[in-house]
Amino acid sequence: MKRVVDVSIPLGPVHPCWKEPARVKCETRGEKVLSAEVELGYMKKGIERIMRGRPWQEVMFLAERVCGICSVIHNMVFIEGMEAVSGITVPDRAAYLRVVMNELDRIQSHLLANFSYCYTIEHETLAMYLLNTRERAMDCMERIAGVRVNKAYMIPGGVRFDLRDTDRALLLADLAHLEDSVHRYGRMFDTGPLIATRSKGVGILMQEQARIARAVGPTARASGIAEDVRLTHPTYRKLAFTPIVRTEGDNHARIMLRFDEIFQSLGLIRQCLHDLPAGPIRGGGTCGAGETVSRGEAPRGELSYFIRSDEYGRILDIAIRTPSIPNIDACTHHMLPGVTSLADVTSVFVSADPCIACNER
Amino acid sequence: MAIYQEKDLRELKYHILTSARHDRAVRDLAGMLGMGVQPFRRILIERLDMQYLENLAGRYEQWEARGDREDPLDRALGRELFTSYLPMVEPSGMEQIRAEARASVEAGTPPSEAAARARGRLAEVLRP
């Protein structure tokens, strides 16, 4: 007679499917996962401690280095926080260019997340198509800011580089190409029968569980929670932004929601380029003393910075809450328990787009 | 025999709990249970994994905003807080403490006193 035993199976910290080191320990009975827990601490940066006591000019560059994948939003949220405490206003043209850069960053991040998922479920063809498409989004950002990652594009009172007319035309052409590609690959994902077997009904996160774990971003929105910080951002409000929500809460919903958000981002960028006002890109101003909580919608969800600065703009205290903290929590403690095949553990974990660098800031 | 692949995570967990936002949540929770901060940190380290601890402040804020809203006794006791938001107590154990508190209120004990006694009982259950 077959004997069913309880086994604790560790995955990682070094695992072919993980982009970064994390150890997930699964308590299993047969193939079924009963519970899971995460061990971290393999890449703790202590970046908040490094930031304290430094002038904002240095912290601005450190903020981007919390996460290489979503560096733009770290730059944006920190700079908007410094602007809030110092009463600095941003010219309209710069505000629109910030949205363009932020949405390009969201596109590349979502493509990378979906690449990772396809790679994890061993659909390498689609994975490589997506990774190739991401390069075009990276090229768009490079054309505007001069570099691919850690761009430091936003500065208090504006942005560093304007968008030239020739670059605008190239950007619009790239957006059309991106839209075609994402449409094709999104349809391949949505209609693939083998993809559906690995994705539909797997790793379900119920709405109540998402609320308890305070899940954010696509992970929460795929479980029916219509929350997005962009709803309260003044520039996004001008663009009449509304979040995309799905209710299935499984791997398939999370990946498809990211595809849908890419189309939404493409629309927002086009709208910004169409409405882009003429004028300066820097308003000027001096960073000073104050205390604030600055929030922004990162590709993975709500990112917040608590900032306290002195009259010289030195950072006295800072606390960063990244979206991966609640999302990895929701994944480990709500999505993984109940998974019926150990082979699905990696795909469920990757579907939440976990960023260990953000988590271990 | 030492198991070399298992790391001692206590120091890392302690560092998580002593950050500014976590410290505020830990102090609130320890005060709620009438415990010292340091013993309560030890309980958290022993009962919760690293990701629960990283998200502790978020879960606590979420409970403050929407947890245990219907029953004042549940709110005072942190029924959902200690079983769902921060699962440190078995639901059956919490139900027993809650039932005792409710019986005490029905026997004429003022609700605040019954809740305080129940929180003391909960602290006893949590202690290692």
- The residues spanned by each domain of chain B are 10-126
Residue A305: band (very low, low, confident or very high) from pLDDT cuts 50, 70, 90: very high
Neighbours of A260 (CB within 10 A): 18
Distance (Å, whole) CA A207 – CA A335: 11
Chain A residues in contact with B50 (beta carbon < 8 A): 37-41
Which pLDDT score, from 0 to 100, does residue B4 have? 54
Residue A308: band (very low, low, confident or very high) from pLDDT cuts 50, 70, 90: very high
Which pLDDT score, from 0 to 100, does residue A132 have? 94
Distance (Å, whole) CA A78 – CA A356: 20
| Minimal CA separation from A169 to chain B, in Å | 44
| Minimal CA separation from B57 to chain A, in Å | 10
- Look at A211 and B59 and tell me if their CB atoms are within 8 Å: no
Q: With a threshold of 0.90, tell me whether the complex ipTM lies above it.
A: no
Domain range summary for chain A, segments of one domain joined by +: 44-359
Chain A's closest residue to B5, CA to CA, is A10
Chain center to CA of A121: 21
- Mean pLDDT to the nearest integer, A134-151: 91
A143-147, A220-224, B22-26, B115-119: range with highest mean pLDDT: A220-224
Q: Nearest Cα to A296, choosing from A333, A262, A322? A: A322
**Interior angle at CA B33, CA B55 and CA A306, nearest 5:** 35
Cβ atoms A326, B58 nearer than 8 A: yes
Say whether pLDDT at B21 is over 90: no
The model's pLDDT over A278-303, given as tens digits with 9 standing for 90+, comes to 989 998 888 889 999 999 999 999 99
The DSSP 8-state label assigned to residue A33 in this structure reads E
Residue recorded with tokens 């109540």: A208
Distance (Å, whole) CA A112 – CA B108: 62
Q: Tell me the three-class secondary structure of A266-300, residue by residue.
A: HHHHHHHHHHCCCCCCECCCCCCCEEEEEEEEECC
**Which residues, listed in sequence order, are joined to residue A8 by a DSSP beta bridge?**
A27
- Look at B84 and A41 and tell me if their CB atoms are within 8 Å: no
The model's pLDDT over A60-103, given as tens digits with 9 standing for 90+, comes to 999 999 988 889 999 999 999 999 999 999 999 999 999 999 99
Chain A residues in contact with B66 (beta carbon < 8 A): 211
Name the phi and psi angles at A123, rounded to 5: -105, 75
Chain A residues in contact with B69 (beta carbon < 8 A): none
Q: With 0.95 as the threshold, say if the pTM is over it.
A: no
Provide the b/e sequence for B96-110 (b: ≥16 CB within 10 Å).
Answer: ebbeebbebbeeeee
The model's pLDDT over A4-56, given as tens digits with 9 standing for 90+, comes to 557 788 887 888 878 888 888 888 888 888 888 888 888 888 898 899 999 99
Q: What percent of chain A has pLDDT over 70?
A: 99
| Minimal CA separation from B54 to chain A, in Å | 6
- Look at B58 and A39 and tell me if their CB atoms are within 8 Å: no
Provide the b/e sequence for A120-145 (b: ≥16 CB within 10 Å).
Answer: bbebeebbebbbebbebbbebbebbb
First to last CA, chain B: 24
For an interface test with B, which of A214, A303, A333 has the most B Cβ atoms less than 10 Å from its Cβ? A214
- Mean pLDDT to the nearest integer, B29-53: 90
Q: Tally A–B CB contacts below 8 A.
A: 64
Q: What mean pLDDT value characterizes chain A?
A: 90
Q: For domain B10-126, which CATH number applies: 3.40.50, 1.10.8, 1.10.3070, 1.10.150?
A: 1.10.3070
Which pLDDT score, from 0 to 100, does residue A133 have? 94
**Protein fold of A44-359:** Cytochrome-c3 Hydrogenase; chain B (1.10.645)
